[in-house]
Amino acid sequence: MANSSQARKRARQSIKRREHNIGLRSRLRTAIKHVRKAIEAGDKKEAQAIFNQTVSTVDSIADKGIIHKNKAARQKSRLSAAIKAMA
């Protein structure tokens, strides 16, 4: 348990920050799932439109440091490849 007032404040801040980050990470996962669902449905135009929105979400979350920039690039690359592979 934190003993100093500074340590107690940092503990409060870290809890608040953690909850905020969990929400952002959840938004990221949901956006990626929407793209995958559109790919599975077979609608290339819709998948591309959703992918374009997802790219900005992934980039903003990577900029905030919630996920690593390389992970963001990998996710975007795989989704883009899956859309390009659609017939």
Rounded to whole angstroms, the Cα distance separating 39 from 50 reads 10
pLDDT confidence of residue 80: 97
- What are φ and ψ of residue 29, in 5° steps? -60, -40
Class in CATH terms, 5-84: mainly alpha
pLDDT confidence of residue 2: 81
pLDDT confidence of residue 21: 97
**Confidence grade of residue 68 (pLDDT, cut at 50, 70, 90):** very high
Does pLDDT of 73 surpass 80? yes
Q: What angle do CA 26, 50, 52 make, to 5 degrees?
A: 100
Question: pTM score > 0.95 for this model?
Answer: no
pLDDT confidence of residue 1: 76
CB 83 within 8 A of CB 44: yes
CB 31 within 8 A of CB 58: yes
Question: Mean pLDDT, to the nearest integer, of 22-45?
Answer: 96
